[in-house]
Structure 1
Amino acid sequence: MMLSELRAKSQITIPKELVERLGLSEGDKLEIYEKDGVIYLMPVVVYPKKYLDELRKEIEIAKAKIASGKQPVFDNVEALFAKLEEN
């Protein structure tokens, strides 16, 4: 158990051991929420909306290929890599 003290302006210091273990660094974003009297901190990544929109389009294209049967299926990882190397 590690203790941290609530400071001025509602600031706390996350113990260095936890920061290192989680690979956090200055400027990282943390989602903070409370549930049943417990405060949770969760590291998050924030992506630009444009990137997420492009990713959604790619996912929809992949789903359409799968639904149409045009998505290749591989018996093993080696076959997948062989196909990728062809392109």
Structure 2
Amino acid sequence: MIIELRKKSQITIPKEIINELNLQEKDQLEISIKKGVIVIEPVAIYSKSYIQKLEETVMRINEDPSKYNVGPFKSVEEAINYLEDSDEDDEKDKESKK
């Protein structure tokens, strides 16, 4: 697929690629050069509290599950939902303290 570099160094990502990667408006992409090739990759940006909660959750894998009131999770989606809910709660707590 060939695309054209436009004014102000802009390019348009073809619709077929947008659909295949399920990209949406406002998704963030990282652009880099690897071995002389331009690489554009979708990225997700998470808050530090989300990453910390993720690290804490992953570290529980080798621990006794009876120590916790959450988990084990039945699927990756269930774990992600837990992390996202926790992150939203942390954000609400920060807002209420302001």
When normalised by structure 2's length, the TM-score is 0.60
The structure with the larger Rg is 1
User: Displacement, 1:29?
Assistant: 0.9
Tell whether 2:48 aligns with 1:49: yes
Residue 38 of structure 1: aligned partner: 37
Q: Mark the runs of 5 or more structure 1 residues left unpaired by the alignment.
A: 73-79, 82-87
User: Displacement, 1:52?
Assistant: 0.7
Structure 1 segment 7-86 matched on structure 2, within 5 A: 7-63=6-62, 65=63, 70=64
Alpha-carbon distance in structure 1 between the residues aligned to 2:57 and 2:17: 36
User: Displacement, 1:34?
Assistant: 0.6
User: Displacement, 1:9?
Assistant: 1.7
User: Displacement, 1:60?
Assistant: 2.3
Residues matched between the structures, number: 68
Residue 84 of structure 1: aligned partner: none
When normalised by structure 1's length, the TM-score is 0.66
Taking every aligned residue pair, what percent have the same amino acid on both sides? 44
Alpha-carbon distance in structure 1 between the residues aligned to 2:53 and 2:34: 34
User: Displacement, 1:11?
Assistant: 1.0
Residue 81 of structure 2: aligned partner: none
Aligned residue type for 1:52: I
Please state which structure has a larger fraction of its residues in helix: 2
Q: Mark the runs of 5 or more structure 2 residues left unpaired by the alignment.
A: 67-72, 75-98
User: Displacement, 1:44?
Assistant: 1.1
User: Displacement, 1:61?
Assistant: 3.0
Aligned residue type for 1:32: I
Segments of 4+ in structure 1 off by > 3 A?
A: none
